Every structure is written in C-alpha cells, then in structure tokens.
Amino acid sequence: MIGQGNSNNEILQDLLKEEQHESFLYPDTTAEVLTLTAGAVINTFGDWAQLIPAISEAVYISSINVETASVIDKAYMVELSYGADKTIITRFRTRVSLANIGFIKVASVRADVVPKDEIIYYRMMCETGLATLTGHARYFYNS
C-alpha cells in the first residue's frame, strides 16, 4: 500500500511503482475472456464468483478492461474482492452506450495489494438481470 514505508524515499518508490511497472493480462491469450454476469434480479448483486484464480505472487489489479456488454445503455456495477472473507478491493460502475460501442471501457483500479495465492472474486448488478460484460484484467506484481 502506498505510504506504508518508513521514509520519504520508500513512499516515493511506492508511488513510482504505481506509475511505472510491467503489466500482465488475465487471461493472457486472445482466445479467452473474463465473463462477468449480473444477478438475476435487476439492480441486485449476484453471488460472489471467481474472476481470477490464485496467483503465486502478491499483485495489484490495475484495471478491468470491458470489451463487450450484452445489454447497452444500462448501468453495470461491479465489486472485486479476494479470499474466503471476500475482502473488497474495489468497486466500479460502467455503462456501454451506442455512442461508445466498439471502444474498450477501462475501469481503473486503485486498490490494496491482493496477497499471494488468493482467489479474486467479483459480483455484479445491472439494470437488466443476468446481463454480461466480457473483457480482461491488467495486473502487476507487488515486488
């Protein structure tokens, strides 16, 4: 977490890591995407579901990039968490409209580190039940 260091230099290094790092993608192939599904009841979160399997190192999720939406002109709300207790790491809202269809919607994530070997979960709601978003996640290692 930024600012946890004991000196100004350590704080500066944390800030630089946030701005300058090698990003990784999940999934890491063009043949796969993440699919997020809203709850069946409109404007109600669905159950927690696995989004990203456990990664063997601590990571920061830097963004969720939405590529497609099953329903346009509706609001989607997403929560991301990790671990058995579903520790929340971020929330975001997005809307895919006719005006921005074909553009990747980037939901920036500025969350605490996800400890190594923790599964990342999501739950989503939409103005339309069972609506879906597809895309990918960007992350970087906490090294």
pLDDT tens per residue across span 94-122: 888 776 666 667 777 777 789 999 999 99
The whole-model pTM stands at 0.82
Q: What is the mean pLDDT of the chain?
A: 86
Residue 124: predicted pLDDT: 97
Examine the pLDDT at 18 and tell me if it is beyond 70: no
Examine the pLDDT at 20 and tell me if it is beyond 90: no
CB within 8 Å of 136: residues ≥ 6 apart: 25, 26, 27, 33, 34, 64, 65, 67
Domains of the chain: 23-141 (2.60.120)
Residue 102: predicted pLDDT: 63
